[in-house]
Amino acid sequence: MEQFLQILKQKNMLVIFGRGDRGTAIYKKLRVDFPKYSICFCDSLPERQGAYLDTVVLSVEEAVRRYAGEIFLLTAAKSITELYEQLREAGVVDECIVRHVPPELLQDWEAERQKKRMAAHDTLRFEVNITKHCNLNCKGCDHFAPLGNASDCMDFSVYRQDMERIAALFGDKANEIHILGGEPLLHPEVTSFLRTAREFFPQAKICLDTNGTLLPKMGEAFWAPCRELRIVIEPTIYPVPTDYEELERTARRYGVEYQYLQTNKPGGHHTLWKCPLDLTGGQSPQESFLHCTNANRCITLEQGRLYTCSIASNMYLFNRFFQKEYIVFSEQDGIDIYKAQSADEIFAYLARPMPVCRYCDTRKRSFDHPWEVSKREITEWT
């Protein structure tokens, strides 16, 4: 922190790159501690630009034009390389770029996030992995997709029964659904899954999360139902030969909402994160849960059970591929939606750690690794 403060003293303006939750928390902390210091934001997303709090959010181009010699603080932990390269390409020198946020600036924010993880929700956002395999197979994928098989496609009849039960329990409280994988476009019945989601949840936001590489092969039989069902196509941008901007134009031609799942722009560099497992099961479930960005957020429906995160629901792929029961599950891992009596019972369950959380070493998670294809080596997940 002291080094960061010394840098600030040498300049007149701090530009916080990234007007997300982290950037906003940093701004509020600095505004309290240093009320007279000049601070603004910049962000790549047009919808985030303009007046904000008691300052302004500039485009990256405008921020560089005005403040190229000042300090730029990068805030998005999972895409630091992307932000850094944008600034360097715009002409900002290394000495003016701070790549690592002093942890003191985020202590209060992280404490608040941990408090929220342990609080029961009153609405349900959940995910469904309709495939376990993927055509990209990213190194260390936290859904374990490189370890899945083509035969792991979700059975539609099981899915329909589960969605009917979720609807009966939650009704309109289930207000956001993400259909994903693996790569969901590898499922031959993907439109049937989308149609069923809309049937049972007529008012919910329904998203198809995809790597986008198979979208150019999808024709009217895919795009027309997406328009009819009000599906949001959410691609993640990968450094592979795919014209994401053309895909966006295609979606618009069909009248389908299209938004990127992250803040990377086409032509950017998607990076990877590593979520290591402790195969001894020696972690504190409570501590793992508190420090897990997925906990009580990436809630996943899997074979009649809801899990508080997506990692736990897919861990069995790790056991199967490496042919050993490294991860030992119990009846308390995931809540049976057919035995649960109410939505409130499930909300309460999702707001606390599962026994299987002891296998996640959340404090050793790391981000912003170069994108690579998996070699299916056990060290990618340990």
Q: What is the pLDDT of residue 271?
A: 83
State the pTM of this model.
0.91
Listed in sequence order, the residues at least 6 apart from 126 whose beta carbon sits closer than 8 Å to its beta carbon are 166, 174, 176, 177, 178, 299, 300, 301, 306
Q: What tens digit of pLDDT does each residue of 12-31 get?
A: 999 999 999 999 999 999 99
Q: What is the pLDDT of residue 85?
A: 87
2-111 fold: Rossmann fold (3.40.50)
Average pLDDT, the chain: 94
Dihedral angle, C-alpha 257, 260, 261, 263, nearest 10 °: -140
State how far the Cα of 199 lies from the Cα of 197, in Å rounded to an integer: 5
Residue 270 sits at φ, ψ, to 5 deg, of: -65, 130
∠ CA 197-350-168, nearest 5°, is 35
Those residues of the chain that have pLDDT short of 70 are 263-269
Name the pairing type of β-strands 272-274 and 97-98: unpaired
Q: What is the pLDDT of residue 23?
A: 96
Equal fold, 2-111 vs 118-380: no
Q: What is the pLDDT of residue 267?
A: 58
Q: What tens digit of pLDDT does each residue of 50-87 get?
A: 999 999 999 999 999 999 999 999 998 888 888 898 89
Q: What is the pLDDT of residue 8?
A: 82
- CB-CB contact of 357 with 283 (8 Å): yes
Distance, CA of 217 to chain centre? 25
> In the chain, where are the structural domains located?
2-111, 118-380
Q: What is the pLDDT of residue 7?
A: 82
Which architecture characterizes domain 118-380 according to CATH?
Answer: Alpha-Beta Barrel (3.20)
- CB-CB contact of 314 with 277 (8 Å): no
